[in-house]
Amino acid sequence: MEEYKYLTSEVTMWNVAVERQIMVKGPDAGKFVDYVITRKATKVCPTGKCKYVILTNTEGGILNDPILLHVKDDEWWFSLADSDINFYLQGVNHDGRWNVDIREIDVAPVQIQGPKAPALMKDIFGEEVTKMKFYDCIWSKIAGCDVVISASGFSAELGYEIYLCDAHKNAETMWNAILDAGKKTQLESHRSRTPP
């Protein structure tokens, strides 16, 4: 209850590195993504946006419901937690029908959630973050590390997800930089988590 109260009144950081990022990149990336989800991503998700999407099997059963990030013109990320969609997507393209590279990438997210999240994010990343609308995503840097920031998260509070590139070598750098910046807004990191 204390954590919930803090989430709804202050700002919290959550390690959600269990989420995996499956990249689809290449000239046919948009066409491939359209084929495997139930939405027309190329129509509703321009570069710099995210969408909630559903992947189904041939009978309409749900395989997964990730967040889809359109991070570059020819690059999309499926952000999901608990399935081997990477292998499924590679299997769909087993014959090379689409000119794409499909693989899990070394990107791990943390979430910054709560009413004071915009103030903390502004201190770290600057004014641009405060202008983001829900499901926008932008590239930025923290402590020299490349990140993608999305205006999204697990809670109904104001929030962001920070997707850290090269997470295996940059995790502690980013984690500590956020903690240091968070002293001003009394950031609380989820106690049972460790850096991604």
pLDDT at 9: 73
User: What is the reported pTM?
Assistant: 0.90
Instruction: Calculate Rg over the CA atoms of the chain.
Output: 17
- Intrachain domains 2-19+106-189 and 20-105 with the same fold: no
Q: How far apart, in whole angstroms, are the C-alpha atoms of residue 113 and residue 150?
A: 12
Distance of CA 132 to the CA centre of its chain: 14
CATH C-level class of 2-19+106-189: alpha beta
- Give the tokens for residue 51: 């969408």
Question: Which residues, in sequence order, are bridge partners of residue 138?
Answer: 149
pLDDT at res. 195: 41
Domains of the chain by residue range: 2-19+106-189, 20-105
Residue 80's SS3 state is: strand
Give the separation between CA 63 and CA 71, rounded to whole angstroms.
23
Q: What's the pLDDT at 155?
A: 73
Q: Which DSSP helix (H) or strand (E) runs through 66?
A: none
Q: For 20-105, which CATH class? A: alpha beta
pLDDT value for 185: 77
Return the structure tokens found at 168: 């295996």
Give pLDDT tens digits along the chain (196 positions). 777 777 777 888 888 888 999 999 999 999 999 999 999 999 999 999 999 999 999 999 999 999 999 999 999 999 998 778 999 999 999 999 999 999 999 999 999 998 889 999 999 999 999 899 999 999 999 999 999 999 987 777 679 999 999 999 999 999 999 999 988 877 776 543 444 4
- Please name which of 71, 76, 92 lies closest in space to residue 22, comparing C-alpha atoms: 76
Do residues 166 and 106 make contact, with C-beta atoms less than 8 angstroms apart?
Answer: yes
pLDDT of residue 194: 40
- Cα distance between residue 57 and residue 139, in whole Å: 33
Q: Which residues, 6 or more positions from 74, have their beta carbon under 8 angstroms from its beta carbon?
A: 25, 26, 27, 29, 30
State the pLDDT at residue 196: 41
A 10 A CB-CB count for 140 gives 16
